[in-house]
Structure 1
Amino acid sequence: MAFYEAVRRPLWGFGLMWITLACTYGYGGPITPLLSWKAFIPLSRLTYSTYMVHTFVVLFMYTSREVELHMRIDIFIYYYLAALVLSMLAGYALYLLIEAPVAELQKLAFSKPDRETTSSNIAMRNANADADARDSAAKAGSSYKNPVNIHDELHVHAAVKF
């Protein structure tokens, strides 16, 4: 029994790590589509925020009582569901107020610029457009007149999406 108690938690962690790595590298089999199911995405975004606030929700629920609580199964289920719903609501509020805006700021700060909007690509597209226009004008026998520069028409806006 002592051996089991000594190794059960490290083995559980190792098993979870093995499943994660197997799914990441394509060896997860039927577990990979199950864990990649799109319905888990909203839940995965709420789990950390809910984890951060659930202690305070439970503490508030049990310390705000004025009388002693005698645990029965129906009372236990009632308190469990109340703590779950209140923790999820508080976690959602924390996600909307803190986690989502910070994630958007990180995305803006650390994202690579789009290849289409970098200044060197814009200059290259302008040069290619000018060369193409000169070639086609020379073939047609007319003089080349520089059109409006592509760079002048391109306006890049960075919008924050919440």
Structure 2
Amino acid sequence: MTPWCRANSYLVGVWAGLLLFTVQGKILRMKLWQAILGWLLSAAVALAVLYGMADYDTLEDPVLLPVAPSIIYAGFSRASWCAALVWVVFACHTGYGGPINTFLSHPSWQPMSRLTFAMYLTCFPIQIIYPGLIYIPFYINHLNSVLLTCGFLFIGGIAAVLLSLMVEGPILGLEKILLKRPGRGIKEPETTTTQRT
């Protein structure tokens, strides 16, 4: 509802796109300690964003977060998370991903990767509609949260497949026809000439 609150994530994404564009087609040499340091820093930042507020994020004994840490966390958590993900993309793109690159680039992820944006678009409306359809008190606990999450993802996945087939597929087909990109299209056969002696 407030897109300006996520502007720092967008800016990190723009910076990451520029970074990947500048290294495209170039061989980037890093020393082993630099790559390991990048992975360790990325993991530390991601874990700090995920678990840094664990003491304040409990249902049993809620504790109010002081104002200064709350402002710092709200201001930097999204950008820090995005920066950690930028390292993963950058390392995998430049050949320093190792087994993580092998895992993430496995072909079995391709169908799901095509549906992620459609699931992003469909799951939120389902989550908004659901509370308006129940007429009993809803108690929040871990089991209910897990069941709701699985249900939202399942129904959102079905809606995402339908949305992708009805909208994204035809538009990608039109894009392939209308916008010619290098490397696409029919290759002309190579002609060979023979000399007579």
Structure 2 unpaired stretches of 5+: 1-67
Q: Distance in 2 between matches of 1:31 and 1:70?
A: 38
Post-superposition Cα deviations, 1:82-106, rounded to whole Å, max 9, x if no partner, equal 1111111101110111111111111
Write the letter of the residue equivalent to 1:92: V
Number of aligned residues: 125
Identity over aligned pairs, percent = 23
**Which residue pairs with 1:114 in the alignment?**
186
Post-superposition Cα deviations, 1:117-149, rounded to whole Å, max 9, x if no partner, equal 8xxx8xxx6xx89xx7xx98xx9xxxxxxxxxx
User: How high is the TM-score relative to the length of structure 1?
Assistant: 0.64
Q: Distance in 1 between matches of 2:97 and 2:146?
A: 35
1:99 correspondence with 2:156: no
**Which residue pairs with 2:10 in the alignment?**
none
Distance 1:72 1:18, change over 3 A: closer
Q: Distance in 2 between matches of 1:9 and 1:68?
A: 33
Aligned-pair CA distance for 1:48 = 0.5
Distance 1:115 1:78, change over 3 A: closer
Q: CA RMSD in A?
A: 2.7
**Which residue pairs with 2:154 in the alignment?**
85
Q: Quick check: 29-38 or 108-117, which moved more? A: 108-117
Q: Distance in 1 between matches of 2:80 and 2:143?
A: 35
1:21 correspondence with 2:99: no
